[in-house]
Amino acid sequence: MTTDASADAGPAAARRPSSPGAAAPTGAGHVRGHEWVDPSRSVRATITQASLDRAFTILMAIAAIGFGAANIPGLLKQLPSLDPFWAPATAIGMALSLVAVGVSAIVQRWSQAAQIVCALLFLVALVTFPLTVREALPVNQPPWPWWLCNVGTIAASLSFATWRAAVYNALVPIIYVVLRLSPAGGAVGVQRALLDGAYTAVLGIAALILIVVLRRAAAAVDVAQATAVRRYSRAIREHATEVERVQVDAIVHDSVLTTLLSAARADTPDAKTLAARMARNAIDHLAAAAADGPGEDQLVPFDVLRDRIVASVTSLGAPVQVRSVPTAGPSLPFSAADALASAPLQAAVNSVQHAGDDVTRWVTIAADGPSVQVEVADDGTGFDAHAVPAERLGVRRSIIERMAAADGEADLRTAPGSGTRIVLRWPALGADDVSGAGPGDQREARA
């Protein structure tokens, strides 16, 4: 049995599902017929820059509402010492901005605008606070904007560009230190003012650094994931192209080249009859392949697959024994059934043409649970599988790669003068489960 010629003697009607939505072989779960399914459509990242911003918005909303509520008692204590118009107006404007920040946790598209307004209104309230003071505040009462300093700095860190947020975080502590040193802010000592300013600066800068670092990390994750999806998509496309190439090569080899070779060698009435039958089957096969469209892989009953294998191998010009055929077995996807039916025929045709005269040939079919195994063997001349030229497509394209494209496998065991045995399995065994004929069998070539 060699690698050169083949014939698809089975009728083309048996090769395709009968329904209009018949499917071509499926590759890696992502190639349905001739349709490539983009994996990026179903990929949803668990951590993205958008999800991080969403979390920041929620935390900012909680902080704004919480600090705003905590500041109400201090504000009410200071109102008698403040301007009766501008102080309440400033406080109400600041309160409304805090409410807007809280609402933005629900309406995400408002978050940046609400944070910008909050940061700007806080800066206005802090700068204009001395103008609203009618009587100097007690030393133990910090100005009411003090409780909102880090609300303003964090809002700026979330909504401004990095350099603007950095300027804002540097400006707020300086303004507050100047305010605390002034009579309107309590005229506290330099040490107390600097401590309060340092506290505000440390918290604001720490929050800014954390936000910038986490956002950049999330952006890097987004880029890495997008790159991975693009590479995966490219790999799927390449896999689909490879599956299609194997199918086309197998069709051309099985249906076209073999027909031409058989017709050229036909010098007896039986050979001419076989060549004519092969030509009709080739035409039907090519027509069916051209009509194939995208869709899900349909299931083929085991008895249909079994009958097709038996009918095809027994219709050859030389006798082929069918030694074992089970009565029941699993239904297989069409791609797997087509491979398990076409590959044995290719192997049997190679044996008829190249194994020699007075050769015994046999086929064995076995079913075990969800798996099916087909063995094609002869006691002919055999060949050296490693010496087969690369341009010879028979075993490689029509048997080995055909089975691999259908998620199966083919074991080729042959040597010059020792016959040939090809074992086809679907689905393919795991690496730990696949074994050769034994320690003394050095003739196995794994697909």
Listed in sequence order, the DSSP H helices in 292-366 are 302-314, 334-354
Q: Is the pLDDT of residue 297 over 80?
A: no
Q: Which of 116, 108, 112 is nearest to 54 (CA)?
A: 108
Scan for tokens 């700095």, then name that residue.
153
pLDDT of 353 reads: 75
The average pLDDT across 251-278 equals 65
Scan for tokens 């910008």, then name that residue.
116
Instruction: Tell which CATH architecture fits domain 1-9+296-447.
Output: 2-Layer Sandwich (3.30)
Collapsing DSSP to helix, strand or coil, 443 comes out as coil
Q: Which of 397, 407, 402, 447 is nearest to 428 (CA)?
A: 407
Q: Is the pLDDT of residue 77 over 60?
A: yes
CB 267 within 8 A of CB 299: no
Q: Which of 322, 382, 338, 341 is nearest to 3 (CA)?
A: 382
Phi, psi of 413, deg, nearest 5 = -125, 110
Of 44 and 339, the structure prediction assigns the larger pLDDT to 339
Q: How far apart are CA 162 and CA 399, in angstroms?
A: 62
Q: Which of 1, 63, 92 is nearest to 343 (CA)?
A: 1
Structure tokens at 392: 């010879």
Contacts of 201 (CB under 8 A, 6+ apart): 169, 170, 172, 173
Contacts of 171 (CB under 8 A, 6+ apart): 123
Scan for tokens 């072989």, then name that residue.
25
Residue-wise pLDDT tens digits, 197-232: 898 899 989 999 999 998 888 888 888 888 888 888
CB 344 within 8 A of CB 374: yes
The average pLDDT across 257-279 equals 67
Give residue limits of the domains in the chain: 1-9+296-447, 24-295
Q: Tell me which of 42-46, 61-65, 276-280 is least confident.
A: 42-46
CB 186 within 8 A of CB 167: no
pLDDT of 96 reads: 92
Q: What is the mean pLDDT of the chain?
A: 75
Contacts of 396 (CB under 8 A, 6+ apart): 3, 388
- DSSP type of residue 437: S
Q: Tell me which of 156-160, 209-213, 378-382 is least confident.
A: 378-382
Of 316 and 10, the structure prediction assigns the larger pLDDT to 316
Q: Is the pLDDT of residue 431 over 50?
A: no
- The torsion angle over the Cα atoms of residues 186, 192, 195 and 199, rounded to 10 degrees, is -40
Structure tokens at 149: 């300093």
Q: Is the pLDDT of residue 65 over 80?
A: yes
pLDDT of 168 reads: 93
The average pLDDT across 289-294 equals 52
C-alpha distances out from residue 269 to 266, 379, 413, Å: 8, 27, 34
